[in-house]
Amino acid sequence: MISLEHLMQPPPSGQITSHESHGHLYSSEPSEAVMTTKNWLGQQFVEVTVGQEPVRTAHSKQEARDAFYAHKETAWQRVMFAYYEDGWEAALKEIMNSRTDGRILQAASKVASCTLKLLRIANKVQELLPSPKRTISSATSLAHGTGGSVVSVAWHPHTCTLAAVFCDDTVRVFSASYSITPLLKHRLQKSVTQIAWMPYSASQLAVGCEGGILLWTLDPVNVVTRPSGSCVMLLSHPSTTPVNALSWHPKGNLLACVGDSSSVLLVWDVGREVSEVAHCGRQDSISIVLWSPEGSRVFVGYASKTMRVFETQNWSYEWWSLDSPVQSAVWSANGHVLLFVTQEEPILFCIGFIDGEGVGGAKVAAQVADFTAKEVTLESSENVIVGGAVRQLAWDPRSERLAVIFRQTEYIALFHTSFQPSLHLAPGGFIRGEMGRIPVTASFRQNLASGAVLSVVWSSGQVQHIPMRYASREMARPANIAHSSLLSPHINHNISFNTSVAANISLVHRVPSLPTSPLIGGLFTSP
């Protein structure tokens, strides 16, 4: 199994990764790196800047107390302030937390604890009733509050256009061919969780937010910098508001979305504004939804320790139990391999799928990479930590480069991936930004004929493009790949690195469910 030890040394301090050429990552001074990127991308360089105007964090994400220094208060004062600021529920919590203070009676703390428990039960009952006013879960809004102005970016699937979400819940659209940067702002566009361009369309951008999905229509030849409210359409359903995640069908006619208030998977026919519940279960809310690139499967990651993959004909599913909730997942270009990471384990898992009746997923997910945090010595004899808990995975559209963004560390791990004949991970290197900057999110450009461009949003709000030039491998026939890799009993050697480091531990087990696939059963066994 490949690990971070196999990757080359990160760039030295003071240098940032500028580009990849022939399999090697190169670094240079920041100004020089930008020049290199501009030279490499030429007319297709998209600069994400907001000009002179300041971008303030949205009111929903900031609190007045942040502006003041903390000072010592008595327990009663804390209770009183909690009551004034957040109501009596917060005051009860404060009483409960102050049991060790000595000034609050133990009895009062117990009463507060019991009252809070009753409140929780009441809230659960209330959850049965639909209510549009809910807050975004911490899992989905984790990209916010990183300090930078840009929160996330999304590349258009066919053009050199980049949409960037800012911390003030506005979206700006940057294009290489136009100097005008449309600003998308709407009164309903609050707590933006995800944006996605509609495939096979020049102009439709879906913005998932608190009130539902806002579908912006931007005329590509229009010179309006501030599209009006008539350019936006709201797709709202009580089961999926606020929106946690959304994903377009690769053809662009359907849009899957999930909400924070229930475990409903909803599919919109965007043109007709008609929605249908594809699945409603009894689990926790869904945090991730991902349509496979060929459109025949949908991955769904729950806030609880389960995940499901649906096939899109009859919407039957197979599900897997996990040790911790899914943090991020990506489909391979052919839709036959799903890579995912969980919130707690720094391990990359892989599940293979075969075509046929049902979902056709492997029973057990294999571990293919270990991202455990390690201390690495730089050229300058400086020791740095790399790896750890993963924030996001990003796989390029041809599935040849896999970027792994970590939550705490400054370095992005890059792997070269191929299917010859099975999934093969090779070390690429570490990508580094400016000193002290942590990567927030990353996205690969979608419409390149060869090579790749990785756009990284750093915690400073800066968006850096890293061009990667390499000879693209001829991809084998997808069906053959899946069969050859997954039907073999020697899975440990198929999913391996350099034939020496084998994936010999399998922890994630699929739970037998009614709509199982008869094709894969028993073929993919745990060692």
Partner 1 sequence: MAMEELFTKEVLRWRSIRVLTCCLLFQLIGPMSWCITFHTISQGILNPFSILYNVLAMWLFPTRLAVPFVCFVVLSHVYNKSFTVSAWVPITRWETWRRFLSLSFFLKSCMIMLSCAFLTNFYVSLVNPDLPSILIPCQPEGALCNKRKAFILYMGLMNGAYYAYYYLMDNGNLLIPATVYPSRLQRVKSKISISKVKEAYNKHGPSMISFLILGIMLNLLNGKSSWTDGFVILDIPLMVTMFMATILWAISITFFNDIFHIFITEPIEIPLTSEEDINPETDLDSWRLSHALSSSGLLQLLAFMDLKTLAALEPRNFVRRSQIYAISQPGGHPRNWLGIMNPSLNLIRKFTDRLRRHNCPEEIPKVPVKPLDPSVASTDINKNAVVKAPTVTMKERLQKILDGLKKYPVFAYFLAELPDATNRSIFADALPVIWAVQAFGDLVSSSFTEDKYGVAQRNIPDILAAFLQLQKVVDGLSRGTISKRAGTSDSLPAEFKLRRALRSALRSALYTVTTTFGPSILEMKMSAEYQSKLQLYLDFKEG
Which residue, 188 or 378, has its beta carbon nearer to partner 1? 188
Instruction: List the one residue from 142, 234, 426, 523 that touches partner 1 (CB under 8 A).
Output: 234
Number of residues in contact with partner 1 under rule CB under 8 A: 58
Instruction: List the one residue from 47, 101, 219, 382 that touches partner 1 (CB under 8 A).
Output: 219
Pairwise CA distance, residues 164 & 176, whole Å: 14
Within its chain, how far is the Cα of 277 from the centroid?
23
Three-state SS at 211: coil
Region binding partner 1 by CB under 8 A among candidate stretches 90-98, 246-254, 400-408, 497-505: 246-254
Q: How far is the CB of 484 from partner 1 (least distance, A)?
A: 16
Q: Which tokens hold the place of 156? A: 């258009």
What one-letter code names the amino acid at 489?
Answer: P
Contact predicate 206/213, CB 8 Å: yes
Contact predicate 364/325, CB 8 Å: no
Which residue, 201 or 459, has its beta carbon nearer to partner 1? 201
Region binding partner 1 by CB under 8 A among candidate stretches 77-85, 244-252, 322-330, 457-465: 244-252
Which residue, 60 or 316, has its beta carbon nearer to partner 1? 316
Q: Which tokens hold the place of 475? A: 């991809």
Backbone angles phi, psi at 178, to 5 degrees: -125, 145
Instruction: List the one residue from 23, 238, 388, 421 that touches partner 1 (CB under 8 A).
Output: 238
| Interaction of residue 187 with partner 1, rule CB under 8 A | yes
Q: How far is the CB of 209 from partner 1 (least distance, A)?
A: 11
Instruction: List the one residue from 54, 272, 383, 522 that touches partner 1 (CB under 8 A).
Output: 272
Instruction: List the one residue from 277, 378, 384, 507 that touches partner 1 (CB under 8 A).
Output: 277
Pairwise CA distance, residues 298 & 309, whole Å: 5
Q: How far is the CB of 473 from partner 1 (least distance, A)?
A: 20
Instruction: List the one residue from 220, 388, 397, 421 that touches partner 1 (CB under 8 A).
Output: 220
Pairwise CA distance, residues 314 & 324, whole Å: 28
Instruction: List the one residue from 19, 172, 279, 308 that touches partner 1 (CB under 8 A).
Output: 279
**DSSP secondary structure string, 264-322?**
EEEEEETTTTEEEEEEE-SSS-EEEEEE-TTSSEEEEEESSSEEEEEETTT--EEEEE-
For 429-457, b where at least 16 C-beta lie within 10 A, e where not — what string?
bbbbbbeebbbbbbbbbbebeebbbbbbb
Closest among 309, 321, 306, 304 to 507, alpha carbons compared: 321
Region binding partner 1 by CB under 8 A among candidate stretches 86-94, 291-299, 376-384, 467-475: 291-299
String of contacts with partner 1 for each residue 100-139, x by CB under 8 A: ----------------------------xxx---------
Which residue, 151 or 218, has its beta carbon nearer to partner 1? 218
Q: How far is the CB of 235 from partner 1 (least distance, A)?
A: 9
Name 44's Cβ contacts closer than 8 Å, sequence gap at least 6.
160, 176
String of contacts with partner 1 for each residue 191-210, x by CB under 8 A: ---------xxxxx------
What one-letter code names the amino acid at 11?
Answer: P
| Interaction of residue 480 with partner 1, rule CB under 8 A | no
**DSSP secondary structure string, 145-185?**
TSSSSEEEEEE-SSSSEEEEEETTS-EEEEESS-S---EE-
Q: Max alpha carbon distance in the chain (Å)?
A: 72
| Interaction of residue 221 with partner 1, rule CB under 8 A | yes
Which residue, 279 or 432, has its beta carbon nearer to partner 1? 279
In the window 400-459, what residues touch partner 1 (CB under 8 A)?
Answer: none
Q: How far is the CB of 486 from partner 1 (least distance, A)?
A: 15
Q: How far is the CB of 54 from partner 1 (least distance, A)?
A: 27
Q: How far is the CB of 88 from partner 1 (least distance, A)?
A: 28
Which residue, 106 or 314, has its beta carbon nearer to partner 1? 314
Strands (E), 420-527: 423-432, 439-444, 452-458, 463-469, 496-497, 501-502, 508-511
In the window 340-369, what residues touch partner 1 (CB under 8 A)?
Answer: 355
| Interaction of residue 274 with partner 1, rule CB under 8 A | yes
Name 441's Cβ contacts closer than 8 Å, sequence gap at least 6.
143, 151, 152, 153, 391, 392, 405, 456, 457
Q: How far is the CB of 352 from partner 1 (least distance, A)?
A: 15
Pairwise CA distance, residues 489 & 485, whole Å: 9
String of contacts with partner 1 for each residue 132-171, x by CB under 8 A: --------------------------xx------------
Paired residues of 28 in beta bridges: 16
| Interaction of residue 186 with partner 1, rule CB under 8 A | yes
Instruction: List the one residue from 21, 60, 296, 372 that touches partner 1 (CB under 8 A).
Output: 296
Contact predicate 127/261, CB 8 Å: yes
| Interaction of residue 253 with partner 1, rule CB under 8 A | yes
Which residue, 269 or 434, has its beta carbon nearer to partner 1? 269
Instruction: List the one residue from 42, 51, 102, 229 that touches partner 1 (CB under 8 A).
Output: 229
Closest among 41, 62, 30 to 145, alpha carbons compared: 62
| Interaction of residue 332 with partner 1, rule CB under 8 A | no
Pairwise CA distance, residues 182 & 228, whole Å: 11
Which residues make up the interface to partner 1 (CB under 8 A)?
128-130, 158-159, 186-188, 200-204, 211, 214, 217-222, 229-230, 232-234, 238-239, 250-254, 264, 267-280, 294-296, 312-316, 355, 479
